Amino acid sequence: MFEPLEIPGLLLIRPRRHQDSRGYFTETFSEDVFAGHNLPRFVQDNESMSQRAGTIRGLHYQTEPFAQAKLVRCTAGSILDVAVDLRTGSPTFGRHDAVKLSAADGALLYIPIGFAHGFCTLAADTIVAYKVSKPYSPAHEVGLAWDDPQLGIRWPVDSAAAILSDRDRRHPGLASLPAAFAWAN
């Protein structure tokens, strides 16, 4: 089931689980099904593991020609997943949607090009897997301050207790970012 979120372009995807006495089976990705919903072709799979709850990764995005759409799922533990609209001219520019993803529910979040993405782990030993539509390019990677007050994100961890990389602590706020994406209605 593909559920549009409040910000246009973001989709919460809930694959059907077939349960029996052994557990469950689910199809998390089908190129034909996703293409039928006008989602891009994915070219790379990524995975991260965070040892402690309260770990924040992000907010990240890549600029053209390596801008990425993402398909995110949590395969162990749970996260608060956040996408911030960076499409200049969008009626939701600078706003965000946040959804809880967990291994228990199996939902996925589709994030199109034009969004910064990040998440906070809600459990220890959380694993996040995501597909991207373009390969990683360090020269095109940009970050947005996770705690920028202009964004108004309600992270589930106090800023003093949040676990971040040094790089993620130094990202600029929204007002300092150059325009990277245009709203295409």
Q: Is residue 181 part of a domain?
A: no
∠ at Cα 129 (157, 34), nearest 5°? 120
CATH at residue 140: 2.60.120.10
- The pTM assigned to this predicted structure is 0.95
Query: How confident is the model over 14-43, as pLDDT tens digits?
Result: 998 888 899 888 888 888 888 888 899 999
**Catalytic residue, candidates 61, 110, 117, 130:** 130
Q: Look up the domain containing 115 and give its range.
A: 2-174
For residues 8 and 10, give the distance between their C-alpha atoms in angstroms, rounded to a whole number.
6
136: annotated active-site residue: no
Q: Is residue 102 one of the residues assigned to a domain?
A: yes
Q: How far apart are CA 37 and CA 4, in angstroms?
A: 11
Question: Which runs of E-coded beta strand occur in 17-175?
Answer: 17-20, 23-26, 44-50, 56-62, 70-76, 78-85, 87-88, 96-102, 108-111, 115-121, 126-132, 141-143
Tell me, yes or no, whether 184 lies in a domain. no
Nearest CA to 173 among 150, 153, 155, 156?
Answer: 150
pLDDT of residue 40: 93
Residue 185: is its pLDDT beyond 80?
no
Average pLDDT score over the chain: 95
* pLDDT tens by residue, 127-173: 999 999 999 999 999 999 999 999 999 999 999 999 999 999 999 99
H/E element, 35: helix 31-35
**Token pair listed for 46:** 């990524």
Domain count of the chain? Answer: 1
Has residue 104 been placed in a domain?
Answer: yes
Please check whether residue 15 lies inside any domain of the structure: yes
Residue 61 resides in a domain: yes
Does 185 reside within a domain? no
Q: Is residue 37 part of a domain?
A: yes
The phi and psi torsions of 51 (rounded to 5 degrees) equal: -75, -30
CB-side neighbour CA atoms (13 Å) of 62: 16
